[in-house]
Structure 1
């Protein structure tokens, strides 16, 4: 059925095809027949896709459940902001977001270049072809599919069980883990980055095809923009995982987060290669465009990881027909890129003189190789198990504990990369021998510092139950002391400081600003690695803490000098601030005297039923905060597991609260989302070190745990991190963690974003000279 939204997509497909035809006629036939329509058609396509995205957003906001996508990812009780973010919660919406940004990019390219050069036109041809392909993908899995097109609804209508104009009264709602602020930010950052990678890729392919100069200048800001958004998307994903229990902390080598990290690594390599290619067109004349092409291929690969249904990930969507279309696109782009790169390689004249091993170009080659190796480690770690499953039908892992594979193989190359950073950042031919000597000393200290034995400060956690099952090579590398990371970190930080001092001494404002930006990006690497290593290995954890509800307000000793006070707890609907089921049972148990001579209303599930032989019926009601008995006059029949709402008064004289029921009705729970909140104070040696609220959300697709995180003002002092997984059995179950130095990682993330923005603010021209 062609809905209004689908009609917009079909029209955008037709309009973009006209723009492509105009570009091809100009390029292949030098015909100006449609030239004047090219830019207007691209602008119109971008406008139509904007309307399409605003339309699906409108359907989410008003709750139009005649659309299947809206029904799947929204509900009437969702706050407005999560209705809007629901538009990118599923595959159809992310495809629409992706293609929308592709054509916004194409429109900007048209506006800034006016297609005045062959390079601009050819880049636009490839961009529009990719955009058209993604419009087709969006139509295959459209967000504008009606609820009547669901197979089960079709069958029910055919059987007469539903009317032909049936409209669901409410939607299914968002998964509980997605109801978080970072859901509003993370997916758009990622998919804007994915879409923006189209322009650097297109320009690189044009260069490989035609050897046309200017491609790097055309794609420079686009590649930096992509690096910024991909980097921030990955970082925000880490923050999201940090504040939502269940995703393994801020980085767990989950297939989807790892897949997004891979193109960021190769894109980082591209930016370094392009920096030298900008100064000398013969330098990295193949490596730079190939890295741009590889980054785009890996962006598509990241989408395949999310959408194929083959990768076991908490982030992944289910299997979709578009997964095969993405795979076809990745294969075509890969084959074209390989063919063009090989042709360029064999055509490239080998006339360069041998300057020896120790020179700036070779240092950059080493850095590029390290980025590629790190990317390959990540690629292999998530791809190998799927490859074996598809080819041999076996389920295998790359290590007993999957993250051990990534940590073991990435760590040595990270050390080498830090050494290369320190050596290359301030490389001077005149001081080469002195710099080499310093490098060798730092490298030797790094190797020596791999040997000290500590309690558990190693590449792999020796106390983990997985440690004993790892192969010998894993145990060998896993036993490297993490002390070895500090000499390279200090060496790299010193190089950044010297580089910054040099940039600050120059008179050119542009050079100074760019230098500050470069220093910020590189020191960010040092801070992020330092923060990640310290916070993940020196954290302190106390598990299985169960605080009785009757201890509310009391400071409870939980061991190791730490104490926790439960200040208050409550249950509410996501859209309301009051208890949706009256008073929680836990509140009554904790302080029964406050309910004396008052009518109490509780809701819960029937978990036990006892007849009192002519004196009534005892019913045990249980909610997430505890259980209590309710006395009903007369004999009643209530099925176990039924939901009840009961009003009555507490009976005096009993050791535990017992209610005399005066009114019974069906449970009046409203809404799909139930939020339990616990207000906490954390003490160390009787001194309060943190406070806040931990929450547990029950909703669609299970539950979400939102820990209390009280960050320290001090850089080295740890975050106070408390996990709460829902009240039950009259106790508040908690896990306390003290996570040190995590602020270094957050500061590094902020600096990297600010640094690349400063670099983007300085416009530079490529040097025409071909000599360094």
Structure 2
């Protein structure tokens, strides 16, 4: 049957390129390993050339696959399952780009793209390690491309084809409208009934999602290079790879670290869990390989300078990439399920993901064990006054930190394998923080002092002389912050508060001591101070995390009208209720929900929130927004907005909202006299006075033949807040009475003046109605993060340090 409107060519080209990339990678892997093993120079070069051009063909094919998929997405070809699942016609161009890597297949292609780029750099800057390293990368390409093959052997499936047509995916089977009722066959014009795609998850429709995944996957891809150098060294029984790998290890550490922190920035600006880090399993799974990679980078430096720690370097580089693959398993297998806010599942690739892990774990461990006794070591005990001793201690602490984090994160995997039901701790954040704060304390101090030691041995007097001034400055600075900084985080007791103060000292010490090292020891030579600059950035990150977390302040404490019940994610006590147009007291600020609007381009509903200090010296506007979720969960995805100061951020997001609807509540009539009090569910009303022909905001200007009677009343809530209201009546010529009600919107209260009940007693009848549909309202969570800018600046500084180190090492051509 010919189906009307289908565009099959891009899918056919794309799938041909998938098979070409898969087979090209197999040929390249075989040829590279043959070249690496060959002793004859001519044959070695011949095999290398075969491998090089095969790898190039596979790499060009991967680029072509991505272009075909982008063509399908940008042209809304919903005959393809991938386009229908991950995009729709309303998406802006940058978010269509993001939809490429929302799905598993697209993210694997992004990973393969970066492998291709890095492999080509290694191949065309050929050195004696290129064949072995590129061979390992080619094996990874074979495995990754198998994830998008989509071939079947009976019921056994290998990968999932991103170019599969929606009519072949089984997705239309549940909808009878796509089938001819007489024949039961799929209608030839089925595409005419698919008006739009399923769209992109609301939380991913943020500009960070166009840059965070590419950088993170660059980091993932870069981590294979140190692994490949280490495995090639074990296979070749040659340990001189430790020098040429250094710029690659620095690049991997920089790209993965920046990718992780871009994710933190995305969480801070897009997710509404109130911060940049939540020890979420997906965050942890990316952090652990970085920690182990940093451990390997430091032990690598130890071996280059002092010939210690080569076995540790092998182990750390191997495990860093293994945990990269494991993080992929955690993210894509669905094993995290309910424990992660941003893991995703899709096609069942669990067996392939596990194969990916063991395809690199087993050779690495096998050759490491086989060559263990042959790996050179120095039996001499390390000197405690040497740089290598303390660098190794720091590397070991980072490694242990990573093991603790991955152990806790992997509890769902443990439960699944061993059929246990070990629950997450009640306070997940604190369960990590209570351990990691002491890790931060130790690493901060080691980051500060280690560079002041020399390799092999350091005269005690030299060390004390150089470190003295930075130590004094750090002690004074940290004491001033501890005494005058109002750091009184007592939520977890005095012991944890003391740990915070000690960690603050350690982070300040790391910054000050490394600045001192650049000027005291290196004499200001920035080009050779990459490590110190990276350490300064790391210290700033620790400092920013500690200050912004320990001094985090909830500004939106609700003291008036609570609309929504407490859930596991939101506490109404930390969310202030705002009615449109009603200024509301929020401690230091008066906050007003002015209006809302929908941006036609991005379909986001923006809320205009005005904040003004009570002294009138400062005012600003925030524009948090919500976007309707079309997948993953119902309702709306809320995105925060922040006001940035040099010393803090005011961070706000809409946790819930309700637009005015038809009011079905009825009035309750009561009698009151001047001075009387009557009650409503959240407080009381007092009749202060009755005014005749007195002007009021809600009473129109009277003509000569009209009169008015207005009740001056005060609404007093249970919390003591007062709201003046003035219900009244206007009597027209001919005794026609017009009732004019008044509202206390924030209390959901409407009051009207019905009549004079008894002229002798002065009793008046009023009507009282309580309703939650009187006005548009929302609940807003507002948080102040002090000195969070130190964290973001620290990331930039650390990245600069890695880049300086990378170029410093790469410039030594004789070592590569």
State if a TM-score over 0.5 links the two structures: yes
C-alpha change, 1:459 and 1:306, in structure 2 (3 Å) is farther
Distance of aligned partners of 1:36 and 1:721 in 2 relative to their CA distance in 1, 3 Å threshold: closer
The alignment status of 1:756 with 2:775, answered yes or no, reads no
Q: Report the equivalent of 2:142.
A: 132
Q: CA deviation at 1:393?
A: 3.8
Alignment of 1:424-439 (within 5 A): 424-428=450-454, 429-432=457-460, 435=463
Partner of 2:211: 185
CA distance in 2, matches of 1:401, 1:318: 26
Partner of 1:151, secondary structure, is: coil
Output one character per residue of 1:202-250: Cα deviation in whole Å (capped at 9) or x when no partner: 1111112223244233332322222122111111111111112334410
Q: Output the CA distance in 1 between the equivalents of 2:220 and 2:94.
A: 24
After superposition, what is the alpha-carbon deviation per residue over 1:289-333, rounded to whole angstroms, capped at 9, x for unaligned? 221111100100110110110112121112542232122221342
**CA displacement, residues 224-277 of structure 1 (integer Å, 9 cap, x when unaligned):** 222122111111111111112334410000000111011111111122122222
Give the conservation status (yes or no) of the 8 Å contact 1:545–1:734. Answer: yes
1:678 deviates by 2.1
Q: Distance in 2 between matches of 1:3 and 1:212?
A: 45
SS of 1:23 mapped into structure 2 = helix
Q: Specify which of 577, 580, 583 is matched with residue 549 of structure 1.
A: 580
Change (3 A) 1:319 1:292: same
Where in structure 2 are the equivalents of 1:137-156 lying within 5 Å?
137-139=147-149, 140-154=159-173, 156=176
Indicate the residue corresponding to 2:275 in structure 1. Answer: 249
1:375 aligns with 2:417: no
Residue 53 of structure 2 is aligned to residue 40 of structure 1: yes
Structure 1 contact 408–477 (Cα < 8 Å) conserved: no
Are the aligned partners of 2:104 and 2:346 in contact in 1 as well (CA < 8 Å)? no
Q: Which moved more, 1:68-77 or 1:721-730?
A: 721-730
Residue 710 of structure 2 is matched in structure 1 by none
1:167-182 correspondence to structure 2 within 5 Å: 167=191, 168-182=194-208
The structure-2 alpha-carbon separation of the partners of 1:343 and 1:741, relative to structure 1 and needing over 3 Å to count, comes to: same
Structure 1 residue aligned with 2:704: none
1:467 equivalent in structure 2: none
Mind listing any 5+ residue stretches in structure 2 that lack a counterpart? 1-7, 150-158, 557-573, 659-772
C-alpha distance after superposition, 1:585-610 (max 9, x if no partner): xxxxxxxxxxxxxxxxxxxxxxxxxx
Q: CA deviation at 1:180?
A: 0.6
Matches of 1:35 and 1:750, distance apart in 2? 39
The 8 Å contact of residues 591 and 609 in structure 2, kept in 1 or not, is answered as no
Give the counterpart of 1:497 among 515, 525, 532.
515
Q: Find the aligned partners of 1:35 and 1:518 in 2 and give their Cα distance.
A: 36
Alignment of 1:552-571 (within 5 A): 556-571=583-598
Q: Is the 8 A contact 1:562 1:684 kept in 2?
A: yes
Q: Is the 8 A contact 1:694 1:723 kept in 2?
A: yes
Q: Among residues 328, 336, 346, which one is paired with 1:303 in the alignment?
A: 328
* Structure exhibiting the larger radius of gyration computed from Cα positions: 2
Q: Distance in 2 between matches of 1:35 and 1:226?
A: 25
Deviation per CA, 1:619-663: give whole Å up to 9, x if none: xxxxxxxxxxxxxxxxxxxxxxxxxxxxxxxxxxxxxxxxxxxxx
Q: Which residue of the partner structure matches residue 393 of structure 2?
A: 366
Superposition pairs for residues 216-235 of structure 1, below 5 Å?
Answer: 216-235=242-261
- Shift in Å at residue 52 of structure 1? 0.7
**Structure 1 386/246 Cα, relative in aligned 2: closer, same or farther at 3 Å?**
farther
**SS state of the match for residue 624, structure 2?**
strand
Name the structure 1 match of 2:764.
none
The 2-side partners of 1:477 and 1:19 are apart by 58
Question: Does the 8 Å CA contact 1:381/1:405 hold for their aligned counterparts?
Answer: no
Aligned-partner Cα distance in 2 for 1:261–1:740: 24
- Spell out, residue by residue over 1:18-48, the C-alpha distance to the aligned partner (whole angstroms, 9 max, x if none): 3233334434565466543322221111111
What is the match of residue 419 of structure 1?
A: 445
Deviation at 1:504, TM superposition (A): 4.9
- The structure 2 residue matched to 1:163, chosen from 181, 187, 191, is 187
Could you tell me which runs of 5 or more consecutive residues in structure 1 were left unpaired when the two chains were aligned. Answer: 463-474, 576-672
Q: Residue 153 of structure 2 corresponds to which residue in structure 1?
A: none
CA distance in 2, matches of 1:409, 1:536: 16
Encode CA deviations 1:62-98: one digit per residue, 9 max, x unaligned.
1111111111110001111111111011111001111
After TM superposition, the score normalised by the length of structure 2 is: 0.73
Aligned counterparts of 1:97 and 1:124: Cα–Cα separation in 2: 18
